[in-house]
Amino acid sequence: MGYFRIMAAIPGFFLSSYFLMLLWGVIAPRVGLESIGYPLAMLVTITLWLAVAPLAAVAGKKREWWG
């Protein structure tokens, strides 16, 4: 079951990177920053995913209440 979840996340990664690149291109000129390309958007996306994944895993676990 875990293998299929990983396979399902792959298109989400590429779409997330693409949307980040598009949104950054709209926002960056307004705040005085340079636009970023797709490879840098992919790097930012994977960095965010690696930072958020452990938090999401902990939040997704079912909690057992004792007592």
Cα separations (Å) of 35 from 4, 27, 40, 49, 51? 34, 9, 10, 21, 23
CA 15, CA 25: separation in Å to the nearest integer? 15
Residue 54: predicted pLDDT: 84
pTM here is 0.72
pLDDT, tens digit (0-9, with 9 covering 90-100), for 10-67: 899 999 999 999 999 999 999 999 999 999 999 999 999 899 888 888 887 766 566 5
